[in-house]
Structure 1
């Protein structure tokens, strides 16, 4: 896909960042050079390569470099702390970690515990840069390679050089490209052209109910088909400018952002760290025409419009995801902003794109449903016995079709629990299909809750909290939150002889967990309620809500 786009539209700008642009030919050139560097490092077809950093042109170029090398990308959230990143690196057996800019000035790789055998590549890495990232680090820590991108040049685009056209120092992946000089262009091109549609493309981390994130396996064919269809319904095109707010480490940011823009030759504007205060300036300065996010994002946009005289006339399409969107919000967005369309959609990591509203749908359909299944996807609603229910009745949403994952990485038993012998994926979401086939999401069968658009597994947060050391038990539930939609509330029981400090626990959580996983509040209790099976009774905990 990248080669075809670069051949026919070489000068099309696909990434805009910091006043500079990355063209399709520049991306193709940068990716090929990065792939040669990865091959020189010993990366083989099918090997996993982790990518850790905020949204940037650097991230885009290295993602395509990983795919050019025939490898599988394992995105790590830039919000991750060391424990969280190490879990996914170890689970997938990643051979190389590429780090870009992080949300703070601290090198991301410096957060990691020792990981034997891991090769680390990133900008500005020297021998004194921190544990695990210098060439001369001790045994069992890992070795590192400077990307060649020095301070002041930025994550991938050097002012005045033009990525893919100027000297290595200003282009994405300069360090890997230097390393790859020993690998011939022909060898790297043969590697890229050997990638088949059913080869793995990405392993995405997903929250589960067991405490440890699972790795969702998706292949190239389902990603390309799913997000071509998504883009077609969204009407994403070469004249659009699309700020990608969702992290590239998230399925939506990577697939409905980075990949969709290259597929449709739209210009992506990577947003490294999103702040609501910068939203209006971003839309206005970048002349954004497509915007995707949760309903809270659009409420904020309208509030800012009411307070000032911002120019958002460039916006034409807005996309929400799997959430109830108040009818009044849609009406105000169309009338106040002048949108052509507002779209509601439903997807999940294990199933890619499931359903979307379409052009011409009335406001009540967009507000109350996620539309009809996309081409090639079947949806049905079943009761607790697995029997299909009538239209209008609630039940678990099952999905079947090309978008269903290949499985969970190295977890065949959990894969079999999620996908039955007939190919139906149990989504864990509760929904209703109306007579017209529109799907409404009404509840979640799993315990997951959603903070600012990110799924959070209570079991994972509980497992992390217990690492702090003062707790015997922890139980986390999702509760309504006006700012984030939902937030975590943790009930904890102390170890004998210990008196835990809720504020100290929260401080520890902030230092060791992604921000969206940190509970809003910690409540210390003498004991947790249990049901007849001896499991923690979270319904009883909800009844206790302060």
Structure 2
């Protein structure tokens, strides 16, 4: 694995692609030269603030050019980036910042009605010295300063001093710590080295997205998540790709963006993909520039894959895959030419750089077709959770495989299927039920647009299934009809005992169903 630092690789890319557009900003496009200069200014400014190699610096904001500028500035100064999801609130951010010991936070001033700056000032974060507002605010004198005020401090540190700091970086430096979503407990910090991040970016370029400098990438996943960060803007700036940050998901605007920007690569969570498919403006929109649509993150019906291929045209590949924060990105991927059934019902084959297997409770490998826990080993897999030896000890097998917590199986062709999170599995009268498997079958019910299943307590059987359904437009569905369909199509223990019809499924920032919120709906 390379010992080169990720920032030096970015510098090489900036020199090769100097005048090409790197990223679309609110105030206009930034060339690669301009993006490098902005990051160098911020790196010097951070050094002026006393930032040393390895100091943790957080970013809490929506996808934007200043977000990427700040991240690259942190890396230039030798700091460790701690991204925070925009949907988190003050108490949640406080926990992450205190766990990380962050000294500086870059943040938006507001997102909708939520004020990030006020939320930070209200919390008890002893290590926090400076709040830098990405989109305004602050005079440069107090604790809260603007991005421009911070950048003005660059003059206090010479270019030579920054170059010396950049030269000190190695592939073993911790480049970022992404905290897991916390859906299964307290968020855990996942540190990645510069070498691991570079390796993951190269795999994303060569084996998954096939990026070239001619690509125009609409980064729809949040910059704070691995899918929008390492597999999003970061891999892009290392390879001369033009980045279009996306933070809103109105289907009509996305359609206009495709035509206006001549997008070539577009990740779409299934609900957003369906919104584009159903939008009345789609028919008159030229979408032929798009060569690859990446979807997934949750159960998708075969018909959606077919509709996406029809909507974008025969030249567009529809792809899905499986990855984790702990693996710095993808573990598996489907490939061009895979049938819609493969894209919809599996997450594709394991990447050549990784060892992947299905294990039982004793961590022994299970036969083809048998459901167990997915375990993975390889150069881009985390070495251990941040300051959490207990979680680290329980996360690995004796032969060094990381236990993902995801239940799945592999077929005779090497395609993996995710049945669910191990902790989302529930027992009905002693039988294992995997919600994703049941959801996949229920997508075949006429009139079902989306469905999610959870286990709820039952006095007789311990637990039983409950389905939450979003109806397709004009669909006439009843609880009785849904349960009757399920009784005909699946084993009795898998049949949901109750159905709730809702307007929309609650989603997290990467498009996965937030089942913890469903548990609060009676």
Measured against aligned partners, the alpha-carbon deviations of 1:183-236 in whole angstroms (never above 9, x if no partner) come to 111111111122111211111111346632111111111221112212223222
Q: 8 Å contact 2:375–2:404 — kept in the other structure?
A: yes
Structure 2 distance, partners of 1:293, 1:483, is 21
Q: Which residue is 2:233 aligned to?
A: 258
Q: Secondary structure at the match of 1:25?
A: helix
Give matches, 1:41-60, under 5 Å: 41-60=49-68
Distance 1:441 1:305, change over 3 A: farther
Q: Which residue is 1:126 aligned to?
A: 138
Q: Which residue is 2:374 aligned to?
A: 397
Q: Which residue is 1:145 aligned to?
A: 145
Q: CA deviation at 1:320?
A: 1.6
Q: CA deviation at 1:308?
A: 4.9
Give matches, 1:246-395, under 5 Å: 246-304=221-279, 308-338=283-313, 339-352=315-328, 353-395=330-372
Structure 2 distance, partners of 1:105, 1:191, is 39
Structure 1 distance, partners of 2:154, 2:467, is 51
Q: CA deviation at 1:478?
A: 9.2
Q: State which of 119, 122, 131 in structure 2 corresponds to 1:111.
A: 119
Structure 2 distance, partners of 1:446, 1:246, is 25
Q: CA deviation at 1:259?
A: 0.7
Give matches, 1:57-68, under 5 Å: 57-68=65-76
Measured against aligned partners, the alpha-carbon deviations of 1:244-298 in whole angstroms (never above 9, x if no partner) come to 1111011111111111211221111011333345322222232222110222222
Distance 1:431 1:246, change over 3 A: same
Q: CA deviation at 1:44?
A: 0.6
User: RMSD over aligned Cα, in angstroms?
Assistant: 3.1
Q: Secondary structure at the match of 1:379?
A: strand
Deviates more, 1:241-250 or 1:279-288: 279-288
Structure 2 distance, partners of 1:315, 1:370, is 21
Q: CA deviation at 1:415?
A: 0.9
Q: 8 Å contact 2:109–2:137 — kept in the other structure?
A: no
Structure 1 distance, partners of 2:517, 2:59, is 29
Q: CA deviation at 1:522?
A: 7.8
Residue 201 (structure 1) aligned with residue 191 (structure 2)? no
Distance 1:117 1:369, change over 3 A: closer
Residue 432 (structure 1) aligned with residue 409 (structure 2)? yes
Q: State which of 230, 233, 239 in structure 1 corresponds to 2:214.
A: 239
Q: Which residue is 2:3 aligned to?
A: none
Q: CA deviation at 1:330?
A: 2.1
Residue 10 (structure 1) aligned with residue 18 (structure 2)? yes
Deviates more, 1:306-315 or 1:40-49: 306-315
Q: Which residue is 1:164 aligned to?
A: none
Q: Secondary structure at the match of 1:350?
A: helix
Distance 1:257 1:402, change over 3 A: same
Q: Which residue is 2:89 aligned to?
A: 81
Q: Secondary structure at the match of 1:49?
A: strand
Q: 8 Å contact 2:109–2:136 — kept in the other structure?
A: no
Distance 1:103 1:284, change over 3 A: farther
Unpaired runs of at least 5, structure 1: 128-133, 137-142, 149-174, 451-457, 459-476, 485-508, 510-514, 524-544
Q: Secondary structure at the match of 2:284?
A: coil
Structure 1 distance, partners of 2:249, 2:60, is 17
Distance 1:386 1:326, change over 3 A: same
Q: 8 Å contact 1:197–1:219 — kept in the other structure?
A: yes
Q: 8 Å contact 1:79–1:103 — kept in the other structure?
A: no
Residue 217 (structure 1) aligned with residue 229 (structure 2)? no
Structure 2 distance, partners of 1:260, 1:402, is 17
Structure 2 distance, partners of 1:102, 1:96, is 18
Q: 8 Å contact 2:252–2:276 — kept in the other structure?
A: no
May I ask how many residue pairs the two structures share in their alignment?
Answer: 437
Q: CA deviation at 1:32?
A: 0.7
Q: Secondary structure at the match of 1:250?
A: coil
Unpaired runs of at least 5, structure 2: 1-8, 426-434, 437-453, 455-464, 473-505, 507-511
Q: CA deviation at 1:323?
A: 3.6
Q: 8 Å contact 1:248–1:254 — kept in the other structure?
A: yes
Q: TM-score, normalised by structure 1?
A: 0.74
Structure 1 distance, partners of 2:114, 2:89, is 12
Structure 1 distance, partners of 2:466, 2:377, is 29
Structure 2 distance, partners of 1:405, 1:522, is 31
Structure 1 distance, partners of 2:166, 2:301, is 46
Q: Secondary structure at the match of 2:227?
A: helix
Q: CA deviation at 1:237?
A: 1.9
After TM superposition, which residue ranges in structure 1, 4 or more long, deviate above 6 angstroms?
515-519
Q: 8 Å contact 1:430–1:445 — kept in the other structure?
A: yes
Q: CA deviation at 1:482?
A: 2.9
Q: 8 Å contact 1:103–1:272 — kept in the other structure?
A: no
Deviates more, 1:106-115 or 1:416-425: 106-115
